[in-house]
Amino acid sequence: MDVNKLKLAAFLFVVITVSCTNKTKDNLSEGKNLQKVIAKEGVEYAYPHFSNDGKKILFQSNESGKWRICTMNINGSNIKELSTNTFNSYFPDWSPDNKLICFVADKTGFEEIYIMNADGTNKKQLTNNKARNIHPYFSTNGKKIFFSSTLNGSNNLDVYQMDIDGTDIKQITTTLDNETCARMSPDNKYMTYLKNNNKGLDDLFLLSVSDSMEVNLTDTKTLDGWPSWSPDGKHIIFSAVKNDQYRLFTYNLENKKINQLTNPPWPNNDCRANFSRNGKMIVFNRQLDNKDSRSNAIYILHLE
């Protein structure tokens, strides 16, 4: 093994060791810093993302009875539907320059990945393989789209990448587990994703792009999900179950510590968080499930 791989192996060993010893450290930042953007009983406003200037939020909504891609101001006003068809459109992501949106739609009867202009025009289908294709996210430079798919013919989801015109599809992970929500670090050196299987694995992993070495960041028996990066690449924000509720946590890649950010009132769950471009805000879902319906509100956490 060369020197670089030895250094990476040592780094990953520290990650595993420290992450397993900091599960209960809390750094709650709610209270006056928490802003409710939009909420309605029985309606899901999900997968929110900030625009670059922090003035708008991209999200999906089922208020019309079908999933729609929408934008709104960060105070919940000026909602615009970008997809108004009879089929479902969901899992939206903005390109780094906010000029394009990739998303999933079931127009063909299968989950395929599409792309459109930020105003909803010029929709184009990128995949056409009758596999399950979900969770598309743009690369840091906006030239690639990472997504999870059963394209290899099995029932498990692997991570793939393709050009933004749908060409040059390449498989990145090749395991018997499910890898979803793959997000590239700002420096393009690492990828984080959720890995789960039917044996109880449900953790966040970090993949080194240079040599495909991966490490389990959380390594617990609880459920984890929806990782994304801070703009400076120093933190990964994710959701994890603590005391039977999903809460938001950050993993600090510099000091290898896990800190708790939110403490939702029972029985709410916090999930699907994303940083603003300046790193001063986090937008996320606060979810309420009951026996009759599910509600997903969008909140903003202003960081001190």
Q: Per residue in 203-258, pLDDT tens?
A: 999 999 999 999 999 998 889 999 999 999 999 999 999 999 999 999 999 988 99
pTM equals: 0.89
Token pair, residue 102, equals 């990739």
- Long-range Cβ contact pairs of 97-101 (< 8 A, separation 24 or more): 97/52, 97/142, 98/51, 98/52, 100/138, 100/142, 100/164, 101/58, 101/69
The Cβ of residue 27 has, within 10 Å, a number of other Cβ atoms equal to 11
Q: pLDDT at residue 20 above 60?
A: no
Q: How far apart are CA 146 and CA 168, in angstroms?
A: 12
Q: How far apart are CA 239 and CA 245, in angstroms?
A: 10
CATH class of 3-302: mainly beta
pLDDT at 1: 40
Q: pLDDT at residue 13 above 80?
A: no
Q: Across the chain, what does the average pLDDT equal?
A: 89
The Cβ of residue 270 has, within 10 Å, a number of other Cβ atoms equal to 25
Q: How confident is the model at residue 2 (pLDDT cuts 50, 70, 90)?
A: very low
- Ordered by start, the domain boundaries in the chain are 3-302
258 close to 249: Cβ distance less than 8 angstroms:
yes
% of the chain surpassing 90 pLDDT: 81
DSSP state of 32: G
Q: Per residue in 46-94, pLDDT tens?
A: 999 999 999 999 999 999 999 999 999 999 999 999 998 899 999 999 9
101 close to 90: Cβ distance less than 8 angstroms:
no
